[in-house]
Chain A
Amino acid sequence: MKKLIFGFIICIISFASQGQVVTNYLGDESYFYAQTKQINQFFRRFNAEENLQGERLYKGDRHYRDPENRKSYIKMLFDIESSKIENNLKNEFIDEVTDKNEPDYLDFYGGEWFAEVTAKFRFNGKTETAVIFLKLEHENLGMKWVINKVYFKPFSELFFTDSVTNKFIHPMSHELDFMNLIKVFEDKGQVEYYFDKDYHPDFKTIFLYEIKKGGLAFETIQNVKFHFFQIENWYFEISEFNRSSKNSGWLISALTKIPEDQKELLLKYIYYEK
């Protein structure tokens, strides 16, 4: 039955697209109508805040946030060519976010979602990949994306690579005017183990330093995806699928049911933090 509704929606989209053709018709545009063309459209479809023609619906419009439409839309927002997300999990998620008494909507301004950008940089004469995490931040009456975290493998490989070490500055060093510091700073490969237990390398600062000194130079963007933590007890990821299918554009590529108190762990994993 659910399959039937989904098929029906796809058909409606196809007819809607053909109905709009006026001039210079270049073929079947229904793919482009069905495609989730922007992240903005992902939000609107998830919330049922636009009609099948992609026109914005506002509070007070008849179908604004219509629960039944939402169910159909959200089904279309999954990458249906992947078997990574089980149908049971998908249906549980859809039922929960479209619950008539307690629906969940995505909020562009609501935080708890961020971008992961994979980019190429020139570093030490070689092209290396960096992962840049960006989040939205309020400023004045507006919004802006800011770089929140950076993961760069050549930097992370410099720190805490050994699981077991026996490195410390012995507790009577003060009596010798810390003359043994010479050994600490000669031990370049493991010098970080002599730092306090709360020390974590700040890759953002090293990254900025290298950019400013000319050691790192931006080349190009390779990939972009988004992580959503806005829905209570759920996490999902969206990626762009560029393919000849009505199920294309920005779609849910990963979905996990996760208690709120474990989200911090997942975040650390996404951020490459140990």
Chain B
Amino acid sequence: MKKLLSITIFLVMATMAYAQQPDISPERKRAIDSLAMEKVKDLSRYISIIGSKDTPFSEANRVIDRAMELFSDGAQMGVSSLNTKEVKYYGVRKYFERLMALNYDQVTIEWFNIHYISDLVRQPDGKYVGVITIYQKFTGINDDGMKYVDITKKDITVYVERKETQIGGRIIGFWDVLLGDIRVTETRPAN
């Protein structure tokens, strides 16, 4: 319901301020940022469900399908650890499947409150692109008490596109947000 309301408000705002201008006003940017953050929060929620050992296999697969809907085609995860700066590449679905198959008896994925949202830059194809940075703490525990903890910085590509739809004979402009490649860097915890 909350989500529906925010989409409706956004649609109204977009209709009111509709104009063919290349630059995005600060007010519009803030509205787009909120929408993009909603998608990132959805992703965070899905990742927690997929990674949880309490989630049945079939449910996890269903959630992976939902999570994939957040992404543009061909999106990849580029992962590096503290030991090596070299980037390992995974398709997003593969990354989720690996997360689901992790061999821990208990998995906790928590999110730091901090996030950072970049400016939006227009691409040659007319879409805008930005990056949202978030931080995540992963804890995996085995029955024998062995614990693995890492903190990762996730830089998430956000594509923003101006679209139009017809509602009741009226053309309504709106901004569509899709997630793209994600760079995952293991980061050092605070001392």
Binary per-residue interface labels of chain A (194-233) against chain B in the complex, 1 for a CB within 8 Å, 0 otherwise: 0000000000000000000000000011110000000000
User: What residues of chain A lie closer than 8 Å to B29, measured between beta carbons?
Assistant: 56
**Closest CB-CB distance, B124 to chain A, in whole Å?**
4
Which segment of B9-17, B58-66, B82-90, B99-107 sits at the interface? B82-90
Whether the Cβ atoms of B137 and A26 lie closer than 8 Å is: yes
A139-B124, A142-B124, A223-B85 known; A27-B113 Cβ under 8 A: no
Which segment of B140-148, B166-174, B183-191 sits at the interface? B183-191
A24-B110, A38-B131 known; A140-B124 Cβ under 8 A: yes
A58 vs B119: C-alpha distance when bound (angstroms):
12
Interface size class of B (residues with CB under 8 A): 35 or more
Whether the Cβ atoms of B124 and A29 lie closer than 8 Å is: no
Interface size class of A (residues with CB under 8 A): 35 or more
User: What residues of chain B lie closer than 8 Å to A56, measured between beta carbons?
Assistant: 26, 29, 119
**Closest CB-CB distance, B118 to chain A, in whole Å?**
4
Chain B residue with minimal CB distance to A136? Answer: B121
A139 vs B127: C-alpha distance when bound (angstroms):
12
Asked if A67 is at the interface (CB within 8 A of a chain B CB), the reply is no
**Closest CB-CB distance, A35 to chain B, in whole Å?**
9
Asked if A274 is at the interface (CB within 8 A of a chain B CB), the reply is no
Which segment of A14-22, A76-84, A86-94 sits at the interface? A14-22
Whether the Cβ atoms of A17 and B114 lie closer than 8 Å is: yes
A20 vs B122: C-alpha distance when bound (angstroms):
31
A154 vs B126: C-alpha distance when bound (angstroms):
39
Whether the Cβ atoms of B118 and A38 lie closer than 8 Å is: yes
Could you pull out 13 A-B pairs where Cβ atoms are within 8 angstroms?
A26-B137, A29-B112, A29-B190, A32-B112, A40-B119, A56-B119, A108-B121, A139-B124, A140-B125, A140-B126, A141-B122, A142-B125, A143-B124
Residues of A at the B interface (CB closer than 8 Å) are 17, 20-33, 37-38, 40-41, 54, 56, 58, 108, 120, 139-144, 220-223, 242-244
